[in-house]
Structure formats: C-alpha cells, structure tokens
C-alpha cells in the first residue's frame, strides 16, 4: 500500500510551523518552521532568488515554487503546509506556486487571497500563512475554510491539519515555544535562535493513543509524529529548519539549517532592514 501522506509530500511545503505575533518586547514577529520532504527532490536553500532579487527564501527546483519566502521590499510573507489526506489530487497545480506567486505579486495581500480563494480547488490540500510582516498575517486553507482568517496577536501552531489542531507535535511545540519566548526577554539574539533550533530538532515520538488517524497506519503515524523527522522510510525526513525574526526596528533576520540524508547539515543566514 502506498503511503498517502508521503505521496502528498512531493510538493514543496513546510510541515511544522510555530508563529508568535507581538509576543516579545524586542521582536514583533517570530517564526520557527520545519520542512519535511523527500531528500532526492532538488531544492535550493535560503537565499535571494536570482531572477527576483527582492525575494528571499528556499526554492523547489522541480516546480519553481517555494515552501517559505518573503519579499524584502513589500514585506509580503508566505508559508504553506500540505494537508495530510487520502489519494493525491491528480493534475493539481503545485502548492509551492501559492507561495512564490503571492510574495512576487504587486497586488495587495487581500486581493491575492481573494483571487486564491476563487481558484483554491486547483490545488491539493494546503494551509497557508500569508500577509505582511510583522503583524498583518492571514490563514487560509482550501480544506478547512472557504475564507481567510485574520491572525491577531498571539501564538499559533500549524502542521498538516488546520491551524492549531492539537496534534501532539503542535501541542508540544506550542508549550515549549511559549516558554522559550516568554523566558528570552533578557537573552541575546544568538541565544534565542539557538534555542529555537533546539526546539525544531526535537525528535520526541508521540504516544500511540495521542496520534490522529490520517489513514497511513500506526507505524508511519509514529514515525511522522516528532517535530523533527529523522531520515528513514523512502529517504524522507526533515530537510530544513528555518527561523525568521523581525525586531521593533524593522530589521529582519533569517536563519536556516539544511539537513541531508547522510546526516550532514549546512547553514545559511540573511539579514535586511525594511524601509
């Protein structure tokens, strides 16, 4: 039997994200996210896009889409996760194009979201966090809602179900994330970033009775239950961990660790100041 979750993962998407909006005295926006994917799928790490130098993010080289990107000029931001469900939707547009087209669009964010809401059935199941840094962020899903949701100040967790669905990794992540942010007010930025990377590297496996039933069987539910998924079945696992901070002075800091199937890793960072 083919693993339905892994079939859906052949498109660029994050699979775990934690977001804090206006919850820290120094940082208006804090994002920590993991991308889970097949290791053989070619992608570029965090960086400036050569043909669109205002955009920063990773890029899926198969579809020319992205799982997470932002525009340095407009401060448009987008992140997509897939919705774990049954048989893949044949002929669907790549969900990564939702991200790349949103951050590149000159239209206002709400115009883009309205257009996406009208064409959302062209895509397999997705969750989208999108808007403007630091605090005009929206949530849209083509499986859980027909309209976007405004995200107010607060904490949010997202995986492969709707926003804040209490999957074990989301619940665990939010508890640790809130504690980390609330106790980092006297910590320097390097310390905060290192703590966030530690959180994203959490390999705690959930208890069987805590897991959702998404139709892939208990063994794979357990394997996919940690925040960080170690390389394993079908050469699949967490490909990268990304952190984005925006401080009160409108300086944006992007950090990323990329992981490989042989347990090597690489590191990238990018900083800019919003006008």
Q: Angle at the Cα of 244 (from 238 to 247), degrees rounded to 5?
A: 160
**Predicted local distance difference test score (pLDDT) of residue 87:** 61
| pLDDT score recorded for residue 254 | 99
Q: Which two tokens stand for residue 168?
A: 């074990």
Low-confidence ranges of the chain (pLDDT < 70): 1-13, 86-88
Question: Whats the size of the chain, residue-wise?
Answer: 275
Alpha-carbon span 69 to 46, nearest angstrom:
9
What was the pLDDT predicted at 84?
A: 82
CA distance 6 to 229: 13
Do the Cβ atoms of 95 and 85 come closer than 8 Å?
A: no
Domain at 4-165+230-273, CATH homologous superfamily: Penicillin V Acylase; Chain A (3.60.60.10)
Tokens of 115: 């257009």
The predicted structure's pLDDT at residue 275: 84
Tokens of 240: 């990268």
For residue 146, what pLDDT is reported?
74
Can you give the residue ranges of every domain in the chain? Answer: 4-165+230-273
Give the burial string for 80-109 (b: 16+ CB within 10 Å, else e): bbbbbbeebeeeebbbbbbbbbbbbbeeeb
């Amino acid at each position: 039997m083919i693993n339905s979750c892994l079939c859906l993962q052949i498109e660029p998407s994050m699979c775990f994200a934690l977001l804090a909006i206006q919850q820290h005295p120094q940082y208006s926006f804090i994002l920590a996210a993991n991308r889970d994917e097949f290791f053989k799928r070619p992608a570029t790490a965090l960086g400036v896009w050569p043909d669109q130098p205002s955009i920063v993010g990773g890029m899926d080289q198969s579809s020319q889409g992205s799982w997470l990107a932002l525009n340095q000029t407009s401060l448009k931001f987008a992140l997509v996760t897939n919705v774990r469900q049954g048989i893949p939707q044949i002929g669907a547009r790549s969900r990564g194009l939702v991200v790349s087209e949103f951050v590149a669009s000159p239209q206002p964010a709400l115009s883009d979201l309205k257009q996406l809401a009208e064409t959302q059935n062209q895509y397999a199941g997705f969750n989208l966090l999108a808007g403007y840094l630091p605090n005009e962020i929206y949530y849209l899903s083509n499986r859980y809602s027909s309209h976007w949701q405004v995200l107010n100040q607060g904490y949010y967790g997202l995986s492969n179900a709707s926003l804040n669905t209490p999957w074990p990794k989301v619940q665990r992540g939010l508890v640790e994330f809130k504690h980390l942010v609330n106790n980092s007010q006297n910590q320097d930025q390097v310390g905060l970033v290192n703590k966030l990377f530690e959180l994203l590297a959490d390999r705690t496996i959930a208890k069987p009775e805590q897991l959702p039933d998404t139709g892939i069987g208990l063994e794979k539910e357990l394997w996919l239950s940690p925040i960080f998924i170690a390389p394993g079945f079908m050469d699949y696992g967490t490909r990268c961990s990304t952190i984005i901070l925006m401080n009160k002075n409108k300086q944006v800091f992007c950090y990323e660790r990329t992981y490989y199937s042989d347990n090597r890793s690489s590191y990238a960072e990018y900083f800019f100041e919003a006008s």
